[in-house]
Structure 1
């Protein structure tokens, strides 16, 4: 489903991120349900207004947990916020699409959202992502990012020795005289992109600059585009932690005003 996002939570006990739920856009609104990761990620507690792990929550409005991660149109930086993600401010996209690029990150909690990749019309693996980890790089990397041009090629490196993420994939420049480390592929994409890179011929893999945002925070400074083949039999987001905790009903009109009210109160 293209109109869907997995919800990830960071466990301070295990020092790792993992999927705990899934948000879907339905013909009548939205639905949210927990995945098996909610029971295996140490320390996780259900979200406000959605305390029952075995319930499928449905609503004609975007749940507050996610709506609060979108910038209000009344904010002066709203148009810039959309531009940073490569969206047209004059034709605002669906909230799911915005959250899928911005990751719904907030400084007040440890929740992120991410889309599960699907093949494009030509059967390729194509995704856009904001570069992660730039804030930990040297100031020279910050300056180099500002010099990048749209469609400029970048390169990936599989970081086998990374102490914090065994699946880490680094992003660097392709300069002839000084290849510079800029940051990393987001953790939610790293495992799949690593698999794709190992199974696709190099000629079918590319990562390029989609957009540079000089006026954006570092976490939204560089938008990248990754394109590769879709390997035979490749199935992203298929681990046990991604599976629903309960059987999913058919998508039918439903109302969840009670849950919305409870969530707002929380």
Structure 2
């Protein structure tokens, strides 16, 4: 994990022209040891629009199934009645995925919906590509459920913790080109140019 932080932070700092990579790296590593969940960091001191997201690479359990936890995103864009419904979800409640292909901001968006057809958020973007791959082969092997609800005053972006359980059989998680390491030559070229 620390290698991921070091490489990614150095890359981010190189792209932004910052010399603060080591101090930021130390802060994140210190906090990560005490909070092993999905982390989202916004580096406003480096670049106002830069976002850095850290998530664990899933590993199979003893039965060969993967369990991935993530916070539902996009809750702030939902109407008030939908947020009220979110505040009533129960741990273990099943959620259903719906492809929102007409979404003008993200044509790959996956909605999270309750059985009574309330939209309660979106699946995290970093999971979407692999979920589409799994669903295209074995849709019955994907289960999405509420893991935990953090009641107000918890910020909406940390309100609804979901869990996906899937049998990935022939699929290696995060193996697409989007998740491959960036070579040092590419980083150097971006820092110069």
State whether TM-score is above 0.5.
yes
Point out where structure 2 has 5 or more consecutive residues left out of the alignment.
186-193
SS of 1:94's partner is helix
User: Which string of whole-angstrom CA distances, capped at 9 and with x for unpartnered residues, describes residues 175-220 of structure 1?
Assistant: 1xxx111110111222222222222232x22111111111311111
Q: Does residue 130 of structure 1 match 2:130?
A: no
User: RMSD in angstroms over aligned alpha carbons?
Assistant: 3.2
Q: Contact 2:134 / 2:171 at 8 angstroms: preserved in 1? A: no
SS of 2:83's partner is helix
Q: Does residue 151 of structure 1 match 2:92?
A: yes
Q: Which residue of 2 aligns with 1:66?
A: 28
Point out where structure 1 has 5 or more consecutive residues left out of the alignment.
6-20, 24-31, 51-56, 71-92, 248-266
Q: Does residue 213 of structure 1 match 2:119?
A: no
When residues 164 and 122 of structure 1 are mapped into structure 2, their CA distance, relative to the original with a 3 A threshold, is same
Higher percent of residues as helix: 2
When residues 233 and 139 of structure 1 are mapped into structure 2, their CA distance, relative to the original with a 3 A threshold, is closer
- Larger deviation: 212-221 or 233-242? 233-242
Q: What's the TM-score, normalizing by structure 1?
A: 0.57
**How many residues are aligned here?**
177
CA distance in 1, matches of 2:90, 2:178: 40
SS of 2:86's partner is helix
Q: Which residue of 1 aligns with 2:104?
A: 163
Q: Which residue of 2 aligns with 1:225?
A: 163
Please show how residues 72-83 of structure 1 align to structure 2 within 5 Å.
Answer: none
Please show how residues 164-243 of structure 1 align to structure 2 within 5 Å.
Answer: 164-175=105-116, 179-202=117-140, 204-215=141-152, 216-239=154-177, 242-243=180-181
